[in-house]
Chains A and B, each alone.
Chain A
Amino acid sequence: MSATSADALSTNHLGGTDSPRTRDTRSALSHALRALPALLRTGFAAVLAYRAEILIWMFTTNMPLVMLALWAAVARSGPVAGYTQEGFTAYYLATLLVRLFTGCWVVYELTMEIRQGTLAMRLLRPIHPLLAHAAENAAAIPVRLVVCTPLIAIFVYTSYASITRDPILWLCVPLSLIGAWMITFGVMAIVGTLALFVESAMGLFQLWLGLSGVLSGYLVPLDLFPERVRAIALLLPFRFTLSFPVELVLGRVDRMQALQLLGAQWSYVVLFAVGTVLLWRAGMRRFGAFGG
């Protein structure tokens, strides 16, 4: 099937006699919004069906704890650059929680669908495949929150003194988490869409993961890096996927900085979203399902 016919299929049911593109887009969007509750419901049901897998996947996300083991041993003989043992515990538990909340897996599904040609099925549905994926991924978040409750309790219990008391920062936390999730989703969607152009898109994603491990504060708190590395890491998008929400929760930034950083984070969100849409359009022109 060619891309244009797929496009037509996804919009022609709207059936406007006068169909300028803007009107189509707008009604497609409102249509998508109406479909959203149903999509979230099915996504939620799918997550429940795979609850054991999700639980184990969450348990395998343990790198912050591996790093905590090392730094706790280092800080046993005195604080490191302002971090005590408690400081490291607070940092790495918060990192683990943010990582668990903001995880998504669209890159794996998208590359598989493209390789196996099942993307054609998605294109036949009257909703944009990326929106459907976003809804499915977002539907997992409530389940994760529930599963994370014990971890949150441990975090509050062990790190009560390190958690910020500033209500403004707390208002920024949900926004920063949503932003972090959207950047992660955007990157995954971009790499997934690249599978329409190149065969080894997953390798590219591994590259992102590797860089992200170092530059997002996942392995080492960014303030422990040498000044020059730190200055670069603070500007790149990686920080906004992980370190930034952690900095907010631990009150490492003041109110003004928090708002500025939130602005920077959401600029990246917009950038990645636009990039995703443009790349998807270009990719759709190339896509031909097997057997089509």
Chain B
Amino acid sequence: MASARASPGHGLRVLRALARTSLALTLQYRLEVLGEGLLSMLWLATALVPVWVVFGKRGAVEGWSYPEMLLVIAWFTLLKAFLEGTINPSLLAVIAHVRQGTLDFVLLKPADAQLLVSFSKVEPSKLVDVFSAFALAGFALHRLHRVPSPLDLAAALLLFLAALAVLYSIAIIVISIAFVAVRVDNLIFLFGSIFDLARWPSTIFRGTLAVIFTYVLPLALMTTYPALALLGRLRLPTALGALAGALVFTLVSRAAWMASLRRYTSASS
């Protein structure tokens, strides 16, 4: 719907306007944002406690040293900030729209509906997690005495974008299910909790789990591969495979979204 007007420039302008209003909305609650930011740091600290205990007992886990493990956790923290900071809240809002029948107002707007709903809400307190992730990665690279080459950095950035695309696609697929059966909004939280496993390097999994987390629900792609790229250890075929996988996920999610929009009849009809 309304995709006839969608051109890249128009899309970008819409995106900018969305980000501005959403930010203005949440910045009304400044004190709360501050509190949430502090809590985010507490959560990160509690997430690191097990790692400190592990490396108090061992020098390496499945070939990952302490700073290398921190690098994976840094990517995980960054992705989780995006997941909880914009993907989840926006898509939960879509479910509320579907339930209340107000999605019609979104569909009537002269911009792509998927774009409109995807960035309708931003939680600025998650910016703290973004900073924490960079600090963690910086600390890890410092401990490794490693300055990534421009090529490594570019590869890591590319893989990070692929990871974001996969994460976002999975969320869109979940939402598309929500159009058919409204009561699956909890599936988002379910996915969020599985995503928690992405905080560890994927090589700690063996057997069936290793296959699932590489190909079906590609957690390996999301955090381990970008970390390997920064370490200059990612092989080219793996990187290309990851990018192709991300493309497939994106296309499938777009198709699922279009299909569920076609099925959608508003609450009153």
Contacts and interface: CB of A to CB of B under 8 A. Distances in A.
Interface of A: 52-53, 56-57, 59-63, 66-67, 69-74, 76-77, 80-81, 200, 203, 206-207, 210, 213-214, 219-220, 224-226
Contact of B196 (A66, A74, A225): A66
Contact of A59 (B43, B50, B183, B193): B193
Interface of B: 31-32, 35-36, 39, 42-43, 45-46, 49-50, 53-54, 56-58, 61-62, 183, 186-187, 189-190, 192-194, 196-197, 199-200, 204-205
A52 B36 CA distance: 30
A67 B50 contact: yes
B190 A203 contact: no
B199 A56 contact: no
Contacts of A62: 193-194, 196
A52 B190 contact: no
A56 B187 contact: yes
A67 B48 CA distance: 12
Contacts of A70: 50, 54, 61, 200, 204
A52 B204 contact: no
A181 B46 CA distance: 23
Nearest to A56: B186
B54 A71 contact: yes
Contact of B192 (A60, A72, A224): A60
A256 B53 CA distance: 30
A206 B38 CA distance: 11
10 contacts: A60-B190, A63-B196, A66-B200, A67-B50, A70-B54, A203-B36, A203-B39, A206-B42, A210-B46, A219-B49
B186 A74 contact: no
B35 A69 contact: no
Contacts, number: 78
**Main DSSP-derived SS at the B contact region:** helix
> Which of B50, B61, B192, B196 lies at the interface centre, i.e. has the most chain A CB atoms within 10 A of its CB?
B50
B49 A220 contact: yes
Contacts of B199: 66
B54 A59 contact: no
Contacts of B62: 73, 76
Nearest to B189: A60
The 4 A-B pairs at the shortest CB distance, nearest first, are namely A73-B204, A56-B186, A60-B193, A210-B42
A74 B66 CA distance: 13
B58 A74 contact: yes
A261 B183 CA distance: 43
A81 B61 CA distance: 16
A98 B31 CA distance: 36
Contacts of A207: 39, 42
Nearest to A72: B204
A87 to B, nearest CB: 14
B39 A210 contact: yes
B29 to A, nearest CB: 10
Nearest to A70: B200
A41 B62 CA distance: 51
Contacts of A225: 53
Contacts of A76: 62
A224 B53 contact: yes
A200 B35 contact: yes
Contact of B204 (A53, A56, A69, A206): A69
A195 to B, nearest CB: 14
B32 A81 contact: no
Contacts of B205: 69, 73
Contacts of A63: 196
A70 B73 CA distance: 13
A120 to B, nearest CB: 25
B197 A66 contact: yes
> Which of B31, B57, B183 lies at the interface centre, i.e. has the most chain A CB atoms within 10 A of its CB?
B57
A77 B204 CA distance: 12
Contacts of A224: 53, 57
A219 B45 CA distance: 12
Contacts of B193: 59-62
Contact of A80 (B46, B58, B189): B58
B161 to A, nearest CB: 26
A118 to B, nearest CB: 20
Contact of A226 (B50, B56, B61, B186): B56
